[in-house]
Structure 1
Amino acid sequence: MNSEKQIHAALLDVLTALPGKIVAYSGGRATVQPTLGKRLANGEALPAPQIFNVPMVFPTGMGGKAKISVPLAAGDPVMLVFSSRGLDEWKVTGDATPETLRTFDLTDAFAVPFGGHIGEYDAENVSMAFGDASFKITPKGEMVITCQKMTVNAPATAWNGVMDMVGGLSVKAGNGGDGAAKFGGNVETSADVKAGGGNVSLLNHTHTAPSGETTTGHG
């Protein structure tokens, strides 16, 4: 066998990356079924076995304080990336020289969530979506949030700029707040203003003058 054939034969057993599907997932580890088998020299197809205890890789930083994760379930596609060193000790301690001499082995894989079929593709904006909820950043620097309900948990929130609101606004006391709405400028409305649970109208309320006469608000 010449050197070229020897190199080719050796590379047949080197694993670098393969698409796969999640069989089971829990606690950041998955059982994964590679979706591509191996073609033997005699033409026979050899299906790849399932790989167990595969670490799932998500973008992280600052010691894990900064992270992006997505929910995963059986059937989700992943990209398997095979380590050039054995991962047995690393999976336990996170930092150890491997005891094994394995290289690019089927059992030493990481898994990265892999798009597969993503449905409708946004070719213009930076987009994140989960079901019917989405968050988009446009080339003009605008942000568009679409969702059924949005909850912001923050002791204080600052808005710098003009706010246009379509719909109702409800202010409630809670977490030590008095529930008061305070404005540093003029308040203009094209409709009525009601106080006391809606019992007192700014336009139609009445006053009793010292003379006993009744006056109303001005519409």
Structure 2
Amino acid sequence: MFEATQLIAQQAIDRFQSNLSTSMPGVVVRMDYERMRADVQPAIPRKFEDGSTEEYSVILDVPVVMPGSQNSLISIPVQVGDNVTLMFCQSDIDSWSISATGQSTPAETLRTFDMQDAIAIPGLYTSPRSLNNPAARKWPHDPKDLVVSMNTGSGSECEIRMTPGGTITVNTDYTVNVNAQDVNVTAKGNANVTAQAVNVKAANTVITGNVSISGILTLAGINMNTHKHIGVQPGSGTTGTPV
């Protein structure tokens, strides 16, 4: 009698657990960037005792977690096909997810740990798809560095890299733009610029200190290295303008 009761109790527990959702990987099938919502296909099919499996339905309009606060955000371009971690909340979040304030909001139903109440956390990778593998990168990569990268592994890969030694490097084969009211650069040592050409457009340019030029200096279209003067006079006379 006891064994039968124990079996019934265990079966009841098993049924309860089989319907209890906690967390699993998912695959993004649609992304709404402005609303930070995604449709996500659970990546692990349900498996039955006879060995058969059944795909879960796509979970619609799942809130996507990105690092941020009320006035700041690290915006991540989650794409269709990306893996995410699905977390299933212990309460119905339908009303909360459309709340204008995000504060305490009563649940609409009594459901708990239901797949319908999922949130998605991007940044989950299978081992073969890991972007922390140096072989997956265009630029030389040390997994110990702190790196913010975009288009990783492609010809347009760009990154901001911070090393344990304190060096910060920006890598890109394309343009770097800085837009600001004022820009100040302070270097305790040297400031070095290596480029095919340097163009400065300013109403006035002030240089404090000595200037050394190893190439050709051109002023108003006149080569200062080879220019000549007209109207040369002996003694205390003066020359004419350079030509």
Compute the TM-score of the two structures, normalised by the length of structure 2.
Answer: 0.78
1:105 to 114, 121, 144: 114
1:98 alignment partner, SS class? coil
2:140 aligned with 1:140, yes or no?
Answer: no
1:206 alignment partner, SS class? coil
Instruction: Give, as a single letter, the amino acid of the residue that structure 1 aligns with 2:54.
Output: L
Instruction: Give, as a single letter, the amino acid of the residue that structure 2 aligns with 1:207.
Output: H
Give how far 1:43 is off: 2.9
Q: Is the 8 A contact 1:23 1:31 kept in 2?
A: yes
Structure 2 partner of 1:195: 219
Moved over 6 A (4+): 212-217
Instruction: Give, as a single letter, the amino acid of the residue that structure 1 aligns with 2:201.
Output: K
Give how far 1:115 is off: 3.6
Give how far 1:215 is off: 9.5
Q: How does 1:140-159 map to 2 (within 5 A)?
A: 140-147=165-172, 148-159=174-185
Give how far 1:58 is off: 0.2
1:152 alignment partner, SS class? coil
Q: Is the 8 A contact 1:206 1:214 kept in 2?
A: no
2:16 alignment partner, SS class? helix
Q: Give the aligned length.
A: 208
Instruction: Give, as a single letter, the amino acid of the residue that structure 2 aligns with 1:71.
Output: P
1:163 to 169, 183, 191: 191
Deviation per residue, 1:1-33 (Å, 9 max, x gap): 535554444222221111111111113111110
Structure 1 partner of 2:229: 207
Pair 1:160–1:213, CA change in 2 (3 A): closer
2:62 to 54, 64, 67: 54
Pair 1:92–1:216, CA change in 2 (3 A): closer
Instruction: Give, as a single letter, the amino acid of the residue that structure 1 aligns with 2:122.
Output: P
Q: How does 1:39-118 map to 2 (within 5 A)?
A: 39-61=47-69, 63=70, 65-93=71-99, 94-95=102-103, 96-116=105-125, 117-118=129-130
Compute the TM-score of the two structures, normalised by the length of structure 1.
Answer: 0.85
Relative to its length, the structure with more strand (as a share) is 1
Q: For the residues of structure 1 that align with 2:199 and 2:239, how far apart are their CA atoms? A: 36
Comparing 186-195 with 116-125, which one deviates more in the overlay? 116-125
Instruction: Give me the identity figure in percent.
Output: 26
Structure 1, gaps ≥5 residues long: none
Structure 2 partner of 1:37: 45
Give how far 1:209 is off: 4.1
Structure 1 partner of 2:21: 15
Q: Is the 8 A contact 1:80 1:109 kept in 2?
A: yes
Pair 1:186–1:50, CA change in 2 (3 A): same
Instruction: Give, as a single letter, the amino acid of the residue that structure 1 aligns with 2:56.
Output: A
Give how far 1:210 is off: 5.1
Q: Is the 8 A contact 2:232 2:240 kept in 1?
A: no
Q: For the residues of structure 2 that align with 1:170 and 1:140, how far apart are their CA atoms? A: 33
Give how far 1:99 is off: 1.8
Structure 2, gaps ≥5 residues long: 135-141, 152-156
Relative to its length, the structure with more helix (as a share) is 2
Q: For the residues of structure 2 that align with 1:12 and 1:126, how far apart are their CA atoms? A: 40
